[in-house]
């Protein structure tokens, strides 16, 4: 009974996969928040290095991974693919469940897959400092790690609720040389504006993004880095699915359904996008994004133009959104609390290529405990959403008398999230109802974008 399917270092993908040529239709333009006209590469230069801007708009299906990046990928890649024999037994399924484990990176999640190339393209561009935001701390720690590897300074605006709930991610960032600031902060106009209205603000990813964008835009030697949502980020994460496909060949299997948890869309895109081309070529494979019921962007949001951030400084993109100033409840899967979604994932959901499912916090922790007690690995609260949906898929197959092959991405481990497990076992976690009124209010403040889309 083989449990792990491993590739050698020379089987780390040589190219990233870009889904754009395989989209079912043209992409909507990205709109400048000030002029309300389509953004040009020059508009983006204060925020990103040219290498990443080129990737953001590239129509090439495969883009070569620089040797310097592959060398660092070797620290943890190729990541293992596991057959979940013990989970299968625990839930009594005849489905074959596989999971790709991204918790083997130094930061404990998939995020270094993009942090490392982002640091690399900034380094060769001449950037001295990276300004970025972090929710639960996974992105900030990944960017701190990658900045350290390329000799860049790093400033991280950390959503306050997570800054307080997850102090050890702050320690990791500091260990890797970054400066960490609780957001909203008094460092930026955006932060000061929020604090003036609500001194007790717990922050949100949208607010922290505004602060980091403002920091980068107002300092010439500084660039901004985003851990999710953008096209180039989804592309960097494609190493997950590209490797998983090779590993499933070793196992002699091909998935009926591929599942990933969805915050901004990057780890889901990473595992699922390499299957989009197969699907377009007629393969029967379902791609399912798992999101929190309390922040149900893909299942309850509107597919329209909205700001990427609360303070309306980031570009306007066509995506599923709950409204740029929607403040989700303080669930423990902090990395899934974003009002919007990747425009690429959004377009594929809208076209029916990708499905989405919303799951409640308690059901996710229940699945995480079943997983940890059978497979051993302690999942990140974010990743537990993928486990929940994978188990639900197995149970549904069982009821239909089918034996399906299920692949899910275990995006990270939960070693720094044990307070969330403590709260769960103490009965202190609650399920938040879908905050329909707050969403309706936030959606009333969508930007007006004319003559495009
Ligand atoms: C950040 C994070 C997520 C959510 O981000 P995506 O861009 O949607 O992937 C999910 N899982 C883990 C472990 C994370 O760190």
Q: What is the mean pLDDT of residues 170-196?
A: 96
Ligand 1 centre to CA of 415 (Å) is 15
**5 domain-assigned:** no
Cα atoms in the Cβ-side hemisphere of radius 13 Å centred on 95:
31
Same domain, 104 and 127: no
Q: Residue 180 pairs with which residues in a beta bridge? A: 156
Same domain, 196 and 285: no
Atom of ligand 1 nearest to the CA of 412: 13
**410 domain-assigned:** yes
Q: Does the Cβ of 236 fall within 6 Å of ligand 1?
A: no
| pLDDT tens readout for residues 267-297 | 999 999 999 999 989 999 999 999 999 999 9
- Write the Ramachandran bin of 229: left for phi over 0, alpha for psi from -120 to 50, otherwise beta: left
What's the whole-model pTM score?
A: 0.96
Q: How far apart are CA 228 and CA 118, in angstroms?
A: 12
Would you say residue 69 has pLDDT above 50? yes
Same domain, 219 and 276: no
| pLDDT tens readout for residues 286-325 | 999 999 999 999 999 999 999 988 878 888 999 999 999 8
Could you tell me what percent of the chain has a pLDDT over 90?
87
Q: What is the mean pLDDT of residues 347-358?
A: 98
**261 domain-assigned:** yes
**242 domain-assigned:** yes
* DSSP-derived 3-state class of residue 69: helix
Same domain, 95 and 29: no
Q: Does the Cβ of 261 fall within 6 Å of ligand 1?
A: yes
Atom of ligand 1 nearest to the CA of 138: 15
Taking Cα atoms as reference points, which of 117, 199, 180, 106 lies closest to residue 150?
A: 117
Both tokens assigned to 437: 């009124």
Taking Cα atoms as reference points, which of 76, 55, 110, 107 lies closest to residue 272?
A: 110
Q: What is the mean pLDDT of residues 58-63?
A: 97
**Where are the extended beta strands (E) located within 95-152?**
96-101, 129-134
Length of the chain in terms of residues written? 453
Q: Does the Cβ of 241 fall within 6 Å of ligand 1?
A: no
What b-and-e string marks burial along 4-35, b requiring 16 or more CB atoms within 10 Å of the CB?
ebebeeeebbeebbbbbebeeeeebbbbebee
User: Whose Cα sits closest to atom 2 in ligand 1?
Assistant: 335
Would you say residue 332 has pLDDT above 80? no
* DSSP-derived 3-state class of residue 288: strand
Structure-token match 């239709």, residue found: 25
Domain end point (choices 232, 252, 278): 232
Same domain, 50 and 81: no
**12 domain-assigned:** no
Q: How far apart are CA 115 and CA 370, in angstroms?
A: 31
Q: Does the Cβ of 267 fall within 6 Å of ligand 1?
A: yes
Question: How far is CA 90 from its chain centroid?
Answer: 29
**215 domain-assigned:** yes
Same domain, 244 and 210: no
Q: How many domains does the chain have?
A: 2
Q: Does the Cβ of 262 fall within 6 Å of ligand 1?
A: yes
| pLDDT tens readout for residues 240-256 | 999 999 999 999 999 99
- What does the mean pLDDT of the chain come to? 95
Q: How far apart are CA 17 and CA 36, in angstroms?
A: 30
Ligand 1 centre to CA of 228 (Å) is 8
Which domain range does residue 392 map to?
A: 76-108+238-443
Ligand 1 centre to CA of 395 (Å) is 25
Ligand 1 centre to CA of 263 (Å) is 6
Taking Cα atoms as reference points, which of 170, 175, 56, 52 lies closest to residue 119?
A: 52
Same domain, 183 and 201: yes
Q: How far apart are CA 375 and CA 387, in angstroms?
A: 12
Q: What is the mean pLDDT of residues 37-58?
A: 95
Q: Does the Cβ of 111 fall within 6 Å of ligand 1?
A: yes
What's the pLDDT band for 453 if we cut at 50, 70, 90? very low
Q: What is the mean pLDDT of residues 440-446?
A: 92
Would you say residue 414 has pLDDT above 60? yes
Q: Which residue has the higher pLDDT, 436 or 5?
A: 5
Domain end point (choices 232, 262, 286): 232
Q: Does the Cβ of 228 fall within 6 Å of ligand 1?
A: yes
Same domain, 392 and 339: yes
**185 domain-assigned:** yes
Both tokens assigned to 432: 């938040």
Q: How are beta strands 15-17 and 62-64 bridged, if at all?
A: antiparallel
**221 domain-assigned:** yes
What's the pLDDT at 176?
Answer: 98
Same domain, 430 and 302: yes
Would you say residue 89 has pLDDT above 90? yes
* DSSP-derived 3-state class of residue 342: coil
Taking Cα atoms as reference points, which of 25, 31, 40 lies closest to residue 318?
A: 31
The answer to whether the bond into 78 is cis (omega within 30° of 0) is yes
What's the pLDDT band for 451 if we cut at 50, 70, 90? low
Would you say residue 152 has pLDDT above 60? yes
What's the pLDDT at 92?
Answer: 97
Q: Give the range among 13-17, 113-117, 267-271, 336-340 with minimum mean pLDDT.
A: 336-340
**Quick one: DSSP state of residue 31?**
B
Q: How are beta strands 4-5 and 81-83 bridged, if at all?
A: antiparallel
Q: Residue 96 pairs with which residues in a beta bridge? A: 405
Q: How far apart are CA 194 and CA 26, in angstroms?
A: 37
Domain end point (choices 204, 232, 260): 232
Same domain, 174 and 100: no
Q: What is the mean pLDDT of residues 144-170?
A: 93
Count of Cβ atoms closer than 10 Å to residue 344 Cβ: 25
Q: What is the CATH number of the domain that holds 267?
A: 3.40.50.1100
* Mutation choice for ligand 1 from 144, 261, 269, 273, CB with most ligand atoms inside 8 A: 261
Cα atoms in the Cβ-side hemisphere of radius 13 Å centred on 84:
33
Same domain, 377 and 340: yes
Atom of ligand 1 nearest to the CA of 103: 13
Taking Cα atoms as reference points, which of 319, 309, 304 lies closest to residue 449?
A: 304
What's the pLDDT at 313?
Answer: 81
Would you say residue 206 has pLDDT above 90? no
Under a CB-based contact definition with an 8 Å cutoff, are residues 380 and 411 in contact?
A: yes
Both tokens assigned to 329: 């409840």
Ligand 1 centre to CA of 287 (Å) is 17
What's the pLDDT at 450?
Answer: 66
Atom of ligand 1 nearest to the CA of 135: 1
Q: Does the Cβ of 266 fall within 6 Å of ligand 1?
A: yes
Q: Does the Cβ of 263 fall within 6 Å of ligand 1?
A: yes
Both tokens assigned to 287: 């791609």
Same domain, 49 and 141: yes
């Amino acid at each position: 009974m083989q449990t792990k399917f491993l590739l050698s270092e020379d089987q780390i993908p040589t190219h990233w996969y870009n889904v754009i040529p395989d989209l079912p239709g043209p992409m909507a333009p990205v709109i400048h928040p000030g002029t309300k006209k389509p953004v040009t590469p020059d508009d983006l230069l204060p925020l990103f290095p040219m290498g990443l801007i080129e990737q953001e708009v590239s129509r090439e299906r495969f883009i070569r991974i620089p040797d310097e990046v592959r060398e660092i990928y070797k620290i943890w890649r190729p990541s293992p693919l596991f057959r979940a024999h013990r989970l299968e037994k625990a839930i009594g399924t005849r489905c074959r469940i596989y999971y790709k484990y991204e918790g083997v990176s130094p930061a404990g999640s998939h995020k270094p897959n993009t942090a490392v190339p982002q640091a690399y393209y900034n380094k060769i561009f001449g950037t001295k400092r990276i300004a970025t935001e972090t929710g639960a701390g996974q992105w900030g720690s990944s960017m701190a790690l990658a900045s350290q590897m390329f000799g860049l300074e790093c400033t991280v605006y950390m959503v306050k609720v997570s800054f307080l709930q997850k102090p050890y991610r702050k320690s990791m960032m500091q260990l890797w040389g970054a400066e960490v600031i609780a957001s909203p902060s008094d460092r930026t106009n955006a932060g000061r504006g929020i604090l003036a209205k609500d001194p007790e603000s717990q922050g949100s990813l949208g607010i922290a993004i505004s602060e980091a964008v403002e920091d980068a835009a107002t300092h010439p030697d500084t660039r901004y880095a985003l851990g999710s949502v953008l096209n180039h980020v989804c592309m960097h994460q494609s190493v997950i699915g590209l490797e998983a496909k090779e590993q499933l060949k070793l196992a002699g299997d091909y998935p009926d359904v591929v599942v990933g948890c969805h915050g901004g869309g990057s780890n889901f895109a990473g595992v699922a996008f390499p299957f989009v081309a197969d699907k377009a070529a007629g393969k029967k494979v379902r791609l399912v994004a798992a999101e929190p019921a309390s922040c149900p962007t893909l299942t309850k949001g509107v597919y329209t133009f909205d700001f990427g951030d609360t303070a309306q400084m980031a570009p306007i993109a066509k995506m599923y959104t709950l409204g740029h100033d929607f403040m989700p409840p303080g669930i423990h899967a902090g990395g899934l609390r974003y009002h919007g979604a990747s425009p690429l994932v959004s377009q594929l959901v809208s076209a029916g290529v990708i499905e989405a499912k919303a799951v409640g916090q308690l059901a996710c922790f229940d699945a995480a405990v079943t997983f940890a007690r059978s497979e051993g690995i302690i999942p990140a609260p974010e990743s537990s959403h993928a486990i929940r949906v994978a188990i639900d898929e197995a149970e549904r197959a069982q009821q239909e008398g089918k034996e399906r092959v299920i692949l899910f991405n275990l995006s990270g481990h939960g070693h720094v999230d044990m307070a969330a497990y403590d709260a769960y076992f103490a009965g202190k976690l609650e399920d938040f109802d879908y905050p329909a009124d707050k969403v309706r209010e936030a959606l009333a403040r969508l930007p007006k974008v004319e003559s495009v889309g």
